[in-house]
Amino acid sequence: MSKDKILYEGKAKTIIKGPRKHTLIQRFKDDATAYNKKKHKIFKGKGVLNNKISEHLMIHLKSDRIPMSFIERINDRDQLIKECEIIPIEFVVRNLITGSIAKKLDLKEGIKLKKPLLEYYYKEDSLDDPMISRDHVEAFGWATKTELAKIDKYSLKINNSLGKLFKKKGLILVDFKLEFGRLKSDKTKIVLADEISPDSCRLWDVKTNKKLDKDVFRKSLGSLLTAYREVASRLGIGH
Q: What is the pLDDT of residues 139-191, one digit of tens each?
A: 999 999 999 999 999 999 999 999 999 999 999 999 999 999 999 999 999 99
Calpha distance 91→78 (Å, rounded): 24
Q: What is the pLDDT of residues 201-237, one digit of tens each?
A: 999 999 999 999 999 999 999 999 999 999 999 999 9
Q: N- to C-terminal Cα distance for the chain?
A: 23
Nearest alpha-carbon partner for 95 in 81, 105, 109, 83: 109
For 145, the 3-state DSSP assignment is: helix
Q: Give the model's confidence band at 2: pLDDT under 50 very low, under 70 low, under 90 confident, else very high.
A: very low
Report the b/e string of 87-123 with b at 16+ CB within 10 A: bebbbbbbbbbbbebeeeeeeeeeeeeeeeebbbbbe
Q: Domains of the chain (ranges plus CATH)?
A: 6-84 (3.30.200.20), 85-223 (3.30.470.20)
